[in-house]
Amino acid sequence: MAGPSLEQWISDLGLQQVNDPDVDKPVYRLPPPDGRITLSSALEEKISASIREARDRRNLSRSKLAPLPGLSEAVYARYEASVSRLSVGRLIHLCEVLGASPEELLAPAAPHLWAKTKAKWIC
């Protein structure tokens, strides 16, 4: 099965080329409704803030939460401060120990992926 060409795929999805200073090659992103594409460092900051807020809503201290995914408090703090990037596996583990859905932690960084107005982008 050949599938669509790369150009057709980009066009069909409405992706826009973005020059992100944190990535050494051009990347393609889906622009949100306001048209402002968030660069990768800002995405990481929003995800970090979302994790911190989820922990705060559950009234858990860093010292209580950090050991649950097998982390020291200092390492966990680096995730919340957006100093260290989370792997997908670590994010899933944090969802488990926080009792949070991936949507709760990721939607603040990319709300357009959960938008009700564009049915094909609902996750």
Better pLDDT: 22 or 27: 27
Contact 51, 102 (CB under 8 A): no
Query: Per-residue confidence at 104, pLDDT binned at 50, 70, 90?
Result: very high
Report the percent of the chain where pLDDT is more than 90: 63
Query: Per-residue confidence at 1, pLDDT binned at 50, 70, 90?
Result: low
Sorted by where each starts, the structural domains of the chain and their CATH numbers stand as: 1-37 (no CATH), 40-106 (1.10.260.40)
pTM: 0.81
Contact 71, 61 (CB under 8 A): no
Average pLDDT over residues 11-33: 88
pLDDT given at position 38 = 81
Residue 2 has pLDDT above 90, yes or no: no
54-62, long-range: CB < 8 A, 24+ apart: 54/98, 54/100, 54/104, 54/105, 55/80, 55/98, 58/98, 58/99, 60/98
Contact 46, 29 (CB under 8 A): no
Report the percent of the chain where pLDDT is more than 70: 93
pLDDT given at position 46 = 94
- For residues 66 and 3, give the distance between their C-alpha atoms in angstroms, rounded to a whole number: 44
Task: Read off the pLDDT of residues 63-94 as tens digits, 9 standing for 90 and up.
Answer: 999 999 999 999 999 999 999 999 999 999 99
Contact 44, 63 (CB under 8 A): no
